[in-house]
């Protein structure tokens, strides 16, 4: 993890250090209004074929917008954030 010291804030107690986590989010571009979770896995190069989605979702924890979900058909829209195995992804258009 990369932590950086945030700017100094007025009225902050002297013994408090404010840290901000700089996460690297991989952006996955889609052309349609949404993409299913199964399609996303392929676009993100996490699986090589759509048939692997069922097995991948059974073996890995997927968090979408802070909620765990493993449904292949789950629709993902622009600005959705997906975390898989410690990696963060964002859906973009």
Is the pLDDT score of 88 beyond 60? yes
CATH number for the domain that contains residue 39: 3.10.290.10
- Number of structural domains, the chain? 1
pLDDT computed for residue 11 by the predictor: 55
Does 78 fall in a domain? yes
Does 2 fall in a domain? no
pLDDT per residue as tens digits for the range 21-53: 556 899 999 999 999 999 999 999 999 998 899
- Ordered DSSP codes for 44-55: TTS-SSGGGHHH
Helices (H), 1-93: 37-43, 53-59
Environment class of 48 (CB within 10 Å of its CB; exposed 0-12, middle 13-18, buried 19+)? exposed
Residue 16 — pLDDT band, cuts 50, 70, 90?
A: low
């Amino acid at each position: 993890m990369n932590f950086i010291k945030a700017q100094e804030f007025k009225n902050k107690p002297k013994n408090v250090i404010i840290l901000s986590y700089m996460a690297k989010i991989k952006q996955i571009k889609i052309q349609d209004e949404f993409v299913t979770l199964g399609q996303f896995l392929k676009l993100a190069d996490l699986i090589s074929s759509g048939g692997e989605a069922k097995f991948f979702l059974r073996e890995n924890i997927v968090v979408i917008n802070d909620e765990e979900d493993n449904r292949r058909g789950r629709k993902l829209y622009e600005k959705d954030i997906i975390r898989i195995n410690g990696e963060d992804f964002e859906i973009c258009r």
